[in-house]
Amino acid sequence: MAHQANLYPFPSISSLALALRAYVIQCQEAGIARHDVFKVAVSGGSLPKTLAAALLSPPSSEADTVKWEKWEIFFADERAVPLDHEDSNYALLKAELLDKIPSNVTPPTVNPIDTQYLDDTQELADQYEQMLVKSFASRDSVKLPIFDLVLLGCGPDGHTCSLFPGHELLRETSAWVAPIEDSPKPPPRRITLTLPVVTHAVRVAFVATGGGKKDIMKQIFEEGEGLPCALVNEGTRERCSWFVDNAAVEGVSYPKRPFSL
Ligand SMILES: O=C1O[C@H](COP(=O)(O)O)[C@@H](O)[C@H](O)[C@H]1O
């Protein structure tokens, strides 16, 4: 189907990880060609583990190289907790991926939240937004930042980032980063990229695995108007790719595609 999100199912996590690696490296190369860095926003939840499976294996060729030194990593959402807290998306990414990057390569630049503002989520969000303004300033005249890639998860209720179904944050049009104090999934206090920022990215990729996701996948792809994940699909269309395992899309009637770059 033309101009729709791409849905790529895989029989195993290892085959999904191989394809995800090829896709991320293509986005990396496009980012480097555009502005000599790769600006990527990363989610928490189940994503960092799959991302690690994709990116940590040694390159099979020059073209298959993850150029960590060119990566600038941002967080698609973060919980208002210290960076070593068990709920921190930064801590999760660090444990699953960052700490496992070989020590003989130049590490990526990582942009966590500024924890001196944990008591005030509005300020926490504003500070993260200001950091984005500085980081993206030389690139656009910054109406909105343009990430080279936003990597997303999909919650069993259809949430993504910390954008939850029916929440007023889905109507946010001016802020790049917004606070949320009433997340239905704990912890309640978080910050998140807003929908306009997510959908403005060059590419957006979701990773969703396991049979626990199949009911919400059916809703998102068959009837899910208004669900946050469906809103990202609508806002990005062919720029959006879903990397899923067969279990997550069992019974989903949306056209599935064999993966190709
Ligand atoms: O709370 C969150 O949940 C979503 C989805 O997590 P998953 O475990 O169902 O993949 C995640 O993408 C987000 O970053 C996180 O803060």
> Could you state, in order of their start, the residue ranges of all structural domains in the chain?
6-249
**What is the CA(246)–ligand 1 centre distance, in A?**
20
Q: Is the CB of 46 under 6 A from ligand 1?
A: yes
* Alpha carbon distances (Å) from 99 to 70, 90, 102, 210: 17, 11, 8, 26
On the question of pLDDT at 140 being above 60, the answer is no
Q: Which of 16, 40, 47 to probe ligand 1 with, by most ligand atoms within 8 A of CB?
A: 47
Mean pLDDT of the chain, nearest integer: 95
The pLDDT score that the predictor gives to residue 137 is 81
Q: What spacing in Å lies between the alpha carbon of 159 and ligand 1's midpoint?
A: 8
DSSP assignment of 231-251: HHHHHHGGGEEEEEEGGGGTT
At 141-196, the pLDDT tens digits run 568 999 999 999 999 999 999 999 999 999 999 999 999 999 999 999 999 999 99
> Which of 193, 235, 199, 167 lies closest to 76, judged by CA?
193
Which of 13, 16, 40, 43 should be mutated for ligand 1, with most atoms under 8 A from CB? 43
Distance, CA of 40 to CA of 184 (rounded, Å): 26
Mutational test site, ligand 1, from 113, 162, 189, max ligand atoms within 8 Å of CB: 162
Q: What is the pLDDT of residue 143?
A: 87
Task: Report whether residue 158 contacts ligand 1, using a CB cutoff of 6 Å.
Answer: no
Q: What predicted TM-score, i.e. pTM, was given to this entire model?
A: 0.97
Give me the CATH topology for the region 6-249. Rossmann fold (3.40.50)
Phi and psi angles of residue 105, each rounded to the nearest 5 degrees, phi first: -115, 155
Q: From atom 6 of ligand 1, which residue's Cα is the shortest distance away?
A: 45
